[in-house]
Amino acid sequence: MSSKFFAAAASGLAAFAVASGAFAQAAAPLAKAPAAPAAPAITHGAPIASLCVFSAGAVRGTSATGKALDARLKALQTTAEAPLSAREKALQTKIDAFNAAAKTPAADINAREKQKSDLELEQSALQRDAAHTQMELVATADAAQQTYSVELQPAVISAYQSKQCGVLLERSAVAIFNPAMDITPQIVSALDARGKAASFQALERTKLTPQQAAQLAAQLQR
Protein backbone atom coordinates (compact mmCIF):
# COMPACT_ATOMS: atom_id res chain seq x y z
CA MET A 1 0.00 0.00 0.00
CA SER A 2 1.58 3.28 -1.03
CA SER A 3 2.06 5.80 1.75
CA LYS A 4 1.04 8.49 -0.73
CA PHE A 5 -2.16 6.78 -1.85
CA PHE A 6 -4.24 9.75 -0.67
CA ALA A 7 -1.84 12.50 -1.62
CA ALA A 8 -3.94 15.41 -2.91
CA ALA A 9 -6.94 13.08 -2.93
CA ALA A 10 -9.29 15.84 -1.84
CA SER A 11 -8.12 18.26 -4.50
CA GLY A 12 -9.49 18.64 -7.98
CA LEU A 13 -13.12 19.10 -6.97
CA ALA A 14 -15.32 20.44 -9.72
CA ALA A 15 -14.99 24.20 -10.09
CA PHE A 16 -18.13 26.17 -9.56
CA ALA A 17 -19.19 27.89 -12.70
CA VAL A 18 -21.99 30.01 -13.70
CA ALA A 19 -22.88 30.26 -17.46
CA SER A 20 -22.61 32.52 -18.73
CA GLY A 21 -19.45 31.55 -16.89
CA ALA A 22 -20.21 32.61 -13.83
CA PHE A 23 -19.29 30.16 -11.39
CA ALA A 24 -15.59 29.73 -12.16
CA GLN A 25 -12.52 29.85 -9.98
CA ALA A 26 -10.58 33.12 -10.15
CA ALA A 27 -7.68 33.00 -12.58
CA ALA A 28 -4.17 33.72 -11.39
CA PRO A 29 -3.28 37.40 -11.79
CA LEU A 30 -1.45 38.17 -14.99
CA ALA A 31 1.57 40.37 -15.35
CA LYS A 32 0.60 43.96 -15.98
CA ALA A 33 0.37 44.58 -19.69
CA PRO A 34 2.16 47.58 -21.17
CA ALA A 35 -0.02 50.63 -21.56
CA ALA A 36 -1.75 50.76 -24.93
CA PRO A 37 -1.04 53.79 -27.07
CA ALA A 38 -3.66 56.50 -26.95
CA ALA A 39 -6.39 55.96 -29.52
CA PRO A 40 -6.43 58.55 -32.28
CA ALA A 41 -9.22 61.10 -32.23
CA ILE A 42 -12.14 60.14 -34.45
CA THR A 43 -14.38 62.50 -36.32
CA HIS A 44 -17.70 60.77 -36.89
CA GLY A 45 -20.02 61.34 -39.77
CA ALA A 46 -23.65 62.10 -39.15
CA PRO A 47 -25.64 59.39 -37.34
CA ILE A 48 -27.38 57.05 -39.74
CA ALA A 49 -31.10 57.53 -39.36
CA SER A 50 -32.89 54.54 -37.82
CA LEU A 51 -29.65 52.55 -37.34
CA CYS A 52 -28.96 51.84 -33.65
CA VAL A 53 -26.44 49.87 -31.63
CA PHE A 54 -26.35 48.60 -28.05
CA SER A 55 -24.18 46.49 -25.76
CA ALA A 56 -25.86 43.60 -23.95
CA GLY A 57 -22.82 43.28 -21.70
CA ALA A 58 -22.91 46.94 -20.76
CA VAL A 59 -26.62 46.70 -19.98
CA ARG A 60 -25.98 43.72 -17.69
CA GLY A 61 -22.96 45.35 -16.07
CA THR A 62 -24.35 48.84 -15.46
CA SER A 63 -28.05 48.34 -14.82
CA ALA A 64 -29.28 47.92 -11.26
CA THR A 65 -31.12 44.82 -12.44
CA GLY A 66 -28.04 43.18 -13.94
CA LYS A 67 -25.87 44.11 -10.97
CA ALA A 68 -28.42 42.63 -8.57
CA LEU A 69 -28.50 39.39 -10.55
CA ASP A 70 -24.73 39.01 -10.73
CA ALA A 71 -24.25 39.90 -7.05
CA ARG A 72 -26.84 37.35 -5.99
CA LEU A 73 -25.32 34.60 -8.13
CA LYS A 74 -21.92 35.34 -6.60
CA ALA A 75 -23.39 35.22 -3.09
CA LEU A 76 -25.06 31.89 -3.80
CA GLN A 77 -21.77 30.52 -5.08
CA THR A 78 -19.92 31.65 -1.95
CA THR A 79 -22.56 30.13 0.31
CA ALA A 80 -22.47 26.85 -1.59
CA GLU A 81 -18.67 26.64 -1.60
CA ALA A 82 -18.13 27.31 2.10
CA PRO A 83 -19.25 23.95 3.59
CA LEU A 84 -17.60 21.98 0.80
CA SER A 85 -14.32 23.81 1.33
CA ALA A 86 -14.50 23.10 5.05
CA ARG A 87 -15.10 19.41 4.39
CA GLU A 88 -12.25 19.29 1.88
CA LYS A 89 -9.87 20.88 4.39
CA ALA A 90 -10.89 18.46 7.13
CA LEU A 91 -10.53 15.48 4.81
CA GLN A 92 -7.10 16.62 3.67
CA THR A 93 -6.01 16.78 7.31
CA LYS A 94 -7.10 13.17 7.77
CA ILE A 95 -5.34 12.15 4.58
CA ASP A 96 -2.10 13.80 5.68
CA ALA A 97 -2.28 12.01 9.02
CA PHE A 98 -2.94 8.70 7.27
CA ASN A 99 0.02 9.19 4.93
CA ALA A 100 2.28 10.08 7.84
CA ALA A 101 1.22 6.97 9.79
CA ALA A 102 1.61 4.77 6.72
CA LYS A 103 5.36 5.41 6.72
CA THR A 104 5.71 3.08 9.71
CA PRO A 105 4.60 -0.56 10.04
CA ALA A 106 1.00 -0.94 11.14
CA ALA A 107 0.30 -2.55 14.52
CA ASP A 108 -3.09 -3.61 13.11
CA ILE A 109 -3.14 -3.94 9.34
CA ASN A 110 -6.91 -4.51 9.31
CA ALA A 111 -7.49 -1.27 11.21
CA ARG A 112 -5.29 0.62 8.74
CA GLU A 113 -7.13 -0.85 5.78
CA LYS A 114 -10.44 0.11 7.40
CA GLN A 115 -9.21 3.66 7.85
CA LYS A 116 -8.14 3.76 4.21
CA SER A 117 -11.54 2.50 3.09
CA ASP A 118 -13.34 5.07 5.25
CA LEU A 119 -11.28 7.88 3.77
CA GLU A 120 -12.06 6.68 0.26
CA LEU A 121 -15.77 6.70 1.05
CA GLU A 122 -15.53 10.20 2.54
CA GLN A 123 -13.64 11.42 -0.50
CA SER A 124 -16.24 9.96 -2.87
CA ALA A 125 -19.07 11.52 -0.90
CA LEU A 126 -17.39 14.91 -1.02
CA GLN A 127 -16.82 14.71 -4.76
CA ARG A 128 -20.41 13.60 -5.29
CA ASP A 129 -21.80 16.45 -3.20
CA ALA A 130 -19.54 18.98 -4.92
CA ALA A 131 -20.68 17.80 -8.36
CA HIS A 132 -24.33 17.94 -7.28
CA THR A 133 -23.92 21.45 -5.89
CA GLN A 134 -22.24 22.55 -9.10
CA MET A 135 -25.22 21.35 -11.12
CA GLU A 136 -27.61 23.20 -8.82
CA LEU A 137 -25.62 26.40 -9.33
CA VAL A 138 -25.64 25.88 -13.08
CA ALA A 139 -29.41 25.33 -13.01
CA THR A 140 -29.82 28.45 -10.89
CA ALA A 141 -27.79 30.57 -13.31
CA ASP A 142 -29.70 29.19 -16.29
CA ALA A 143 -33.08 29.95 -14.71
CA ALA A 144 -31.93 33.42 -13.67
CA GLN A 145 -30.67 34.15 -17.18
CA GLN A 146 -34.01 33.14 -18.65
CA THR A 147 -35.84 35.45 -16.25
CA TYR A 148 -33.39 38.26 -16.98
CA SER A 149 -33.90 37.79 -20.73
CA VAL A 150 -37.67 38.05 -20.24
CA GLU A 151 -37.15 41.39 -18.51
CA LEU A 152 -34.56 42.62 -21.01
CA GLN A 153 -36.57 42.03 -24.17
CA PRO A 154 -39.33 44.61 -23.54
CA ALA A 155 -36.71 47.11 -22.37
CA VAL A 156 -34.84 46.71 -25.65
CA ILE A 157 -38.06 47.04 -27.64
CA SER A 158 -39.08 50.13 -25.68
CA ALA A 159 -35.76 51.88 -26.31
CA TYR A 160 -35.76 50.74 -29.93
CA GLN A 161 -39.18 52.21 -30.55
CA SER A 162 -38.58 55.42 -28.61
CA LYS A 163 -35.47 56.13 -30.69
CA GLN A 164 -37.33 55.16 -33.90
CA CYS A 165 -34.71 52.58 -34.82
CA GLY A 166 -35.04 50.57 -38.00
CA VAL A 167 -32.10 48.26 -37.31
CA LEU A 168 -30.48 47.35 -33.98
CA LEU A 169 -26.97 45.87 -33.90
CA GLU A 170 -24.92 44.47 -31.05
CA ARG A 171 -22.18 47.01 -30.41
CA SER A 172 -19.41 44.39 -30.43
CA ALA A 173 -20.24 43.60 -34.07
CA VAL A 174 -19.53 47.18 -35.16
CA ALA A 175 -15.94 48.41 -35.47
CA ILE A 176 -16.65 52.14 -35.15
CA PHE A 177 -19.92 53.99 -34.81
CA ASN A 178 -21.24 57.42 -33.97
CA PRO A 179 -22.03 57.40 -30.21
CA ALA A 180 -25.32 59.11 -30.97
CA MET A 181 -26.52 55.80 -32.40
CA ASP A 182 -25.92 53.92 -29.14
CA ILE A 183 -29.16 53.29 -27.23
CA THR A 184 -27.56 51.31 -24.39
CA PRO A 185 -28.35 54.02 -21.78
CA GLN A 186 -31.99 54.05 -22.82
CA ILE A 187 -32.19 50.26 -22.51
CA VAL A 188 -30.63 50.40 -19.03
CA SER A 189 -33.20 52.99 -17.95
CA ALA A 190 -36.09 50.98 -19.40
CA LEU A 191 -34.84 47.76 -17.77
CA ASP A 192 -34.44 49.29 -14.33
CA ALA A 193 -37.81 51.02 -14.63
CA ARG A 194 -39.39 47.55 -14.59
CA GLY A 195 -38.34 47.32 -10.93
CA LYS A 196 -37.15 43.71 -10.93
CA ALA A 197 -33.80 44.23 -9.19
CA ALA A 198 -35.30 43.31 -5.81
CA SER A 199 -36.61 40.00 -7.17
CA PHE A 200 -33.11 39.06 -8.32
CA GLN A 201 -31.71 40.00 -4.92
CA ALA A 202 -34.06 37.39 -3.42
CA LEU A 203 -33.06 34.65 -5.87
CA GLU A 204 -32.64 31.23 -4.23
CA ARG A 205 -30.57 28.25 -5.35
CA THR A 206 -32.40 25.75 -7.54
CA LYS A 207 -32.71 22.37 -5.83
CA LEU A 208 -32.22 19.25 -7.93
CA THR A 209 -32.75 15.59 -7.26
CA PRO A 210 -29.76 13.31 -7.97
CA GLN A 211 -31.50 12.22 -11.16
CA GLN A 212 -32.05 15.81 -12.32
CA ALA A 213 -28.44 16.71 -11.55
CA ALA A 214 -27.21 13.70 -13.52
CA GLN A 215 -29.40 14.63 -16.49
CA LEU A 216 -28.09 18.19 -16.46
CA ALA A 217 -24.50 17.00 -16.25
CA ALA A 218 -25.10 14.71 -19.24
CA GLN A 219 -26.58 17.60 -21.23
CA LEU A 220 -23.56 19.78 -20.52
CA GLN A 221 -21.23 17.04 -21.76
CA ARG A 222 -22.91 16.74 -25.12
For the cut 50, the answer to whether the pLDDT of residue 103 exceeds it is yes
Encode pLDDT of 104-160 as tens digits. 998 899 999 999 999 999 999 999 999 999 999 999 999 999 999 999 999 999 999
pTM (two decimals): 0.78
Number of domains within the chain: 1
List Cβ neighbours of 216 (8 Å cut-off, separation of 6 or more): 135, 138, 139, 208
- Does position 50 have pLDDT exceeding 90, yes or no? yes
Asked whether residue 98 is domain-assigned, the answer is: yes
- pLDDT band for position 87 (cuts 50, 70, 90): very high
Cβ neighbours, 10 Å, residue 80: 19
Determine the Cα–Cα distance for residues 12 and 26; give it in Å rounded to an integer. Answer: 15
Question: Which structural domain, as residue segments, surrounds residue 168?
Answer: 51-221
Write the burial class of residue 99 (CB in 10 Å: 0-12 exposed, 13-18 middle, 19+ buried): middle
DSSP code string of 93-118 = HHHHHHHHHTTS--S-HHHHHHHHHH
Give 159-212 pLDDT, tens digit per residue.
Answer: 999 999 999 999 999 999 999 999 999 999 999 999 999 999 999 999 999 999
Whether residue 16 is contained in a domain is answered as: no
Contact in structure between 24 and 15 (CB atoms under 8 Å): yes
Alpha helices in the chain (DSSP H): 56-62, 64-101, 109-162, 184-193, 197-201, 210-221
Task: Average the pLDDT over 70-77 and give the result.
Answer: 96
Report which residue type is found at 152: L
Asked, for residue 162, whether it belongs to a domain, the answer is yes
Could you read off the pLDDT of 1-43 as tens digits, one per residue?
444 444 433 343 433 333 333 343 323 344 555 666 777 888 9
What is the distance between the alpha carbons of residues 163 and 109, in angstroms, rounded to a whole number? Answer: 79
User: What is the Cα–Cα distance from 211 to 191, expressed in whole angstroms?
Assistant: 36
Q: Is residue 69 domain-resident?
A: yes
180 within some domain? yes
Q: Is residue 72 part of a domain?
A: yes
Give the separation between CA 49 and CA 180, rounded to whole angstroms: 10
Residue 174 covered by a domain = yes
Residue 44 forms part of a structural domain: no
pLDDT confidence of residue 197: 96
Distances (CA, A) of 56 to 66, 91, 119, 215: 10, 43, 48, 30
Residues 84-108: what's their mean pLDDT? Answer: 94
pLDDT of residue 12: 36
